[in-house]
Amino acid sequence: MTLPLFRIKNLSLYVFLAILGLLVAMPLVLILSQSLMDNTTLYTWPPQVVTLAPNFGSYQTLFSQPDLQLGRWLFNSLFASASYTVVVLTICAPAAYAFSRLQFRGRNVLFFILLATIIIPSQVTLIPNYLLMRDLHFLNSINALIWPGAANVFAVFLLRQFFMQIPQELEEAAILDGCSYFGRFWKIILPLSSNALTALTIFVFLGHYNDLFWPLIVNSRVDMRTLPVGLAILNSSYGGSERPVLLAAAVFATVPILLVYSFFQRKIIQGVTLTGMAGR
């Protein structure tokens, strides 16, 4: 008995997606497996994909060295990323609402100028931002990781595109009930934008969590490092002689990201899909 054509197509699609899933998961499996090897096993040929005798010495080294404050670095990264995300949403959501709903002279021109700032390389504003952090006495503090870049142009653009899809009739009904601009924004726009807000939250959080260059510039104290900065310095110290230690640190840094995505993957997909539908 032959299978229907649509079943063959579905089966082929599932096989293709399974192969892609294996290709994506393979680097993660290799990092985890090789972090459980010693140097001798790691550099054997042909290389071993999965070790039959796991060695947790690299993880013991990772958490026993006094100069490797991974717990503190992870806390700095999580706290700075979460605080930065809250500040971005607090600033950019009202700005996006103003650009999508309020009628004022020069709105489109101002929004175009705002979008044009995306093309400015970050290296151009590096020295002015650093001098500003110095004058505000924010160097070697968590403030230097939170406030610069809080007016996120991408966040304003993403939320504006989503807000423009919400029917204006809902706000017109609220106007008849005497609702103010802030009331309409708080009671109508934000509850209907949960998918976009969730997707933006994840994007902003992960982008800030993985940032290396700016935290490396503004924080020189060991206890104020973020996790990417700590891993970069760890690479220079252990990358050549103790490769499993570096791989164990990579596993430690990857776990929070995987947890965040596993919990919010549906919201991320919904947010990207819905915000990409705005053609206005």
Task: Give which of 213, 193, 201 is closest to 97, Cα–Cα.
Answer: 193
Below-50 pLDDT ranges, the chain: 1, 277-280
Q: How far apart are CA 207 and CA 224, in angstroms?
A: 19
CA distance 256 to 78: 9
pLDDT at 264: 73
Q: What stretches of 65-125 show up as alpha helix (H) in DSSP?
A: 70-101, 107-116
Predicted structure pTM score? 0.80
* Residue-level pLDDT at 134: 92
Through-space distance between the first and last CA atoms of the chain, rounded to whole angstroms: 51
pLDDT at residue 89 in the model:
94
Residue 182: the pLDDT is 85
Q: What pLDDT score was predicted for residue 74? A: 87
pLDDT at 280: 40
pLDDT score for 61: 78
Q: What pLDDT is stored for residue 177 in this prediction?
A: 80
Separation between Cα atoms, residue 4 and residue 15, nearest integer Å: 17
- The predicted pLDDT at position 133 comes to 92
Locate tokens 């090897």: which residue?
37
Q: What is the pLDDT of residue 279?
A: 40
Distance between CA atoms of residues 122 and 181, nearest Å? 34
Residue 136's pLDDT is 92
